[in-house]
Structure 1
Amino acid sequence: MPVKAITLPEPPGSPRKSEADIFETGAYSVIRRAVIIGNGVEDFENQSIGLVHALGMSEKHVLHRVTRPRGGINEWLLWLPVSVHKQVIKIISQLSLYSKVVSKRSEDKFLPLNTKDGNSAGLSSILEADVKNIVTMAQDSSGDGPLLIVACGRDTISITRSIKELASDKVFIVQIQQPRSRLNRFDLVITPEHDYYPLTPSAEKKVPNFMQKWIPPREPPDRNVVLTVGALHQVDSASLRTAALTWHDEFVALPKPILVVTLGGPTRFCSYGADLAKQLVASLHNVLSSCGSVKISFSRRTPKKVSDFVLKELKSSPKVFIWDSEEPSLYMGHLAWADAFIVTADSVRMISETCSTGKPVYVVGGENCSWKHAEFHKLIRERGLVRPLTGLEDISKSWSYPPLNDTAEAANRVREALAERGWRLLT
C-alpha cells in the first residue's frame, strides 16, 4: 500500500520513513515519473518531449504511442477516433469481409490491408499506448507518487480522456494542442493562441457551419487552458550552448554574418511551389553582398523542384553552403551559430524554434498562408518576432527581441497547477 504524503503516525509494523523521505514529500504528493503519449508524428511528439525536458524530467519519462492502422482501406477511416478505427478493422478482419468486398467491387481503389512486421491491420510492433496498462502503472505507484501524463495530437485524446476517467486521483493530464471540445476533461490544456481563437471573420467563411460548434468560442479560456504564441519544442538556452560547443569547428571559421536559410514544404494552410523558390532566390541574390556566409538546408517536405531550383541558382556562389542531407543534421548548429535566419512560412514549430534564439528572423511565403496559419503569422509580426523577407535587407545590421520562451513558460504553468492540487515534481 503506497505511503500517503501526509506524515501521520505509522501503524505498528509499517516500515519507517527516513528523514530524507519525509523532507522530500512533506505535505505534497511528489511526481517522480512521466508518461508521454505520442502518435508517431515527429512535430507532435517533439512538443511533449520539450515540455517534459523543461520540467526537469528528461530522464524520468517513458514514451507510449497510439498506433493507428495504415494502408489500404485504413486511409478512408482516418477521420474516426483511433479506438473506433481499430475496432472497425478488427471486425473486418475477423469476418473476412474485406477480401469479399474487394473481389466483388474490383473498381474500388482500396489496397489490401497492410500486414507489416507480421501484425494485422498495419499495426507496427512498438510500445502501444494502452489505457489499462497506464492506469495500472498509475495506481500501482509503489511509492513513486502520482503520474504526469503529457500528450499531443488528435489520436491521443481518447486515450488521455479514458485514463483521466479511470484514475483521476493518480494522474495529472497535460493535453498539448487544441482538443476542440470539453477542455475541462484535462487537468491542463496547452495550445497556441491562433489555434484557440480560429474563428476570425475570414476563417468563418472557410469552416463549414456544422463544424463551427467544435471550435472554441472567443471568450477568455478557463484557468486550465494555457495559451502560447507558437509551438512547444526542445530548443532552449542550454541546448543552444551545447550546440555551439558541439558545432564549434564547423562554424567558427565561417565569414560573418552567417545567414541560415531553412526551407520546409507546402501544407494545406501554406501552399507554394516554384514561384516561392524564385522569389527566395531573387531575394538571396540581393542580400548576398551583406552576408559573410549563407547556409541552406531543406526538410523532408521540401518539393524536389524547389530544392533543385535553389541548388541550380546558388550552388556556384562561394558564400553559399548547402547541406546535402547525408552528414549529421546541422540544424542545432544552425540555430546556435546563425546571425540571422530566413524561414519558409509553413512550419509553426520551425519558426517557433528560430524565434527562441532572439536573433533576426525573416519569413518568406507568409502571404500564401490561410486560416489559423495566417493568424499565427499576423501575431508574430505584431509582436516583433519576425519580419517579412523583402530582398532589401542588410544582414549585417542586426535587430533583436525577447526570445520566444513558450516551453519554459508552459512548464511554469504546469508547476503552478500541480501546486494548487498539492502536488509537485521531483527534480
Structure 2
Amino acid sequence: MLTGPKAGDNAQVLRAAATSGLEFVVRNIVIRPDRVTAKPTIRAGLDQLDFSASAPLVPPWPDVVLAIGRHLSRVALWIKQQSGGKTRIALLNAPKGRWNDFDLVVLPPWYRNRDRHNVLPIAVPLIGIDPARLAAARRQFGPELTTLPHPLHVLLVGGDMGQRKLEPGFVRHVMDQMTKGVAAGGTIYAATSRRTPPDVVTELETGLRPQDRLYNWGAAGVENPYLGLLALGDSFTVTADSLSMLIEVARTNKPLTIAEPPPPGGLGGLVQQVSDLLRPRDLGAAIALLYRGDHAVPLGMEPHVPASPLPDDAELVGQRLRQLAGIKS
C-alpha cells in the first residue's frame, strides 16, 4: 500500500487495504518539493521521489500494490516493472494514462471509461472514518461538547475552489442563514482547515454568537475537534470545496447542508467554467450525487436526516483485492 502527501487519499487507500483482510505493508512516498504540483506523464518512474524521506522500495515485491493519484501510480508501475510483471496494481480513481497497465481501477461515478474490463465502478469514493476512531473521539470530546447548548450545529470551513474564492462576505452569509434557520437555537461550532484564508477566520471570530465556538486550524495547544464534531454534532453545514469533508459528514447520516460559494464573474468565471469542463474528478458531480440521493441540501433549504445511508462499496473493493491477490474465497 502506497501513501503520499494527501491525507484524504491515504485514508481511502488504507480503508481499501483494511477491508480486504489481506496482510499489507504501508510504504509512505514523499515527493520532492519541486515536483509536488507537477503533472508528470504516466510511466514507471521514481524521479519525483525524495529518497531520503521515502520508505525504501526493495524486494520481495508484493502480490498487489495499492495506490491512488498520479505520483503514486508511477511508483506502482515501477514496482510492477521490477517484479517482472508479477505484481498486480490496484488503483483508486482514474489513471491519467496507460489504463491497460493497471490490473484493477476502482472508479467513482463521475469518471468516464467505466465500461473497461479492468474497472470496478463504485457509487461513492471510499472516504469514511473508522467507527472505532469515532467512538474514541466521542469519549474524548464528549465532556466538552455535551455541555454546550444543544442542538450542536457544526460549520466546517475549507478554502478556495480554483477561481471560486471563499470570501469573508460569503461566510457571513452562511452564518446568517444558519442563525435564522437550523441554528436559531443551540450552538454553532465552527472549525477551519489549513486552507481557510485568514480574513475568513477573522470573520468567523467576529460573527459568531457568544454561545458559539470556533476551532482555528493549527492553534497552539488546542487539539483538532473534527472527529469529535463528526461523532457528536447534530447537524452540519460544510463549504463545498472538500470531497473528504463532504463524504465523511454524509456517512454520519445526519442533516447536511452544502454551502457553495458563488461563481466568480468576468474572466474568472470563464476560467472556472473551462476548468469545470476539463476536470476529470468533478467535485460538482459529487455534490450533485449527494443532492440526488437526498444525502444533503443546498444552503437555504431545510436540512433533514437522510432516508437511507450513503452507499458503501468498501466490501466489494476488498473482495476484488483478494481476487487480485489470487484468493478464491
Structure 1 length as normaliser, TM-score? 0.64
Query: Aligned equivalents of 1:43 and 1:343: distance in 2?
Result: 16
**CA displacement, residues 255-286 of structure 1 (integer Å, 9 cap, x when unaligned):** 32111110011132754323322321221331
Point out the structure with max Rg over C-alpha: 1
Q: 1:69 aligns with which of 13, 32, 35?
A: 32
Q: 1:85 to 1:303 in 2, by over 3 A?
A: farther
Query: Aligned equivalents of 2:18 and 2:185: distance in 1?
Result: 35
1:272 is aligned to: 166
Query: Aligned equivalents of 1:271 and 1:226: distance in 2?
Result: 35
Q: 1:56 to 1:422 in 2, by over 3 A?
A: closer
Query: Aligned equivalents of 1:420 and 1:155: distance in 2?
Result: 22
3-state SS of the aligned residue for 1:381? Answer: helix
Query: Aligned equivalents of 1:405 and 1:269: distance in 2?
Result: 31
Q: CA deviation at 1:44?
A: 2.0
Alignment of 1:94-243 (within 5 A): 123=50, 125-128=52-55, 130=57, 133=58, 136-138=59-61, 147-167=63-83, 170-194=86-110, 196-197=111-112, 216=113, 220-243=114-137
**CA displacement, residues 334-373 of structure 1 (integer Å, 9 cap, x when unaligned):** 1110111000000011101001101111000165486222
Aligned letter for 2:118? N
Q: CA deviation at 1:150?
A: 1.5
Q: CA deviation at 1:420?
A: 7.2
Query: Aligned equivalents of 1:84 and 1:413: distance in 2?
Result: 25
| Residues 1:247 and 2:130 aligned together | no
CA RMSD of aligned residues (A): 3.1
Contact 2:44 2:81 in 1 (8 A): no
3-state SS of the aligned residue for 1:295? Answer: strand
Query: Aligned equivalents of 2:45 and 2:24: distance in 1?
Result: 28
Aligned letter for 1:330? P
Contact 2:138 2:232 in 1 (8 A): yes
Contact 2:45 2:77 in 1 (8 A): no
Q: CA deviation at 1:188?
A: 1.6
Contact 1:66 1:155 in 2 (8 A): no
Q: 1:402 to 1:242 in 2, by over 3 A?
A: farther
Contact 1:231 1:348 in 2 (8 A): no
Alignment of 1:28-427 (within 5 A): 36-56=1-21, 60-71=23-34, 78-81=38-41, 123=50, 125-128=52-55, 130=57, 133=58, 136-138=59-61, 147-167=63-83, 170-194=86-110, 196-197=111-112, 216=113, 220-268=114-162, 270-287=164-181, 290-314=184-208, 317-324=209-216, 325-326=219-220, 327-365=222-260, 368=263, 371=276, 372-390=282-300, 393=302, 398-406=304-312, 409-416=313-320, 418-419=322-323, 422-423=326-327
Query: Aligned equivalents of 2:104 and 2:46: distance in 1?
Result: 28
3-state SS of the aligned residue for 2:191? Answer: strand
Q: Percent identity?
A: 22
Q: Which has the higher helix share?
A: 1
Contact 2:138 2:231 in 1 (8 A): yes
Q: CA deviation at 1:417?
A: 5.2
Range with bigger deviation, 77-86 or 248-257: 77-86
Query: How many residues align structurally?
Result: 311
Gaps of 5+ in 2: 264-271, 277-281
Query: Aligned equivalents of 2:31 and 2:317: distance in 1?
Result: 31
Contact 1:259 1:291 in 2 (8 A): no
Query: Aligned equivalents of 1:355 and 1:416: distance in 2?
Result: 25
Contact 2:46 2:78 in 1 (8 A): no
3-state SS of the aligned residue for 2:153? Answer: strand
Q: 1:272 to 1:129 in 2, by over 3 A?
A: farther
Q: CA deviation at 1:51?
A: 2.0
Contact 2:165 2:261 in 1 (8 A): no
Q: 1:339 to 1:355 in 2, by over 3 A?
A: same
3-state SS of the aligned residue for 1:363? Answer: strand
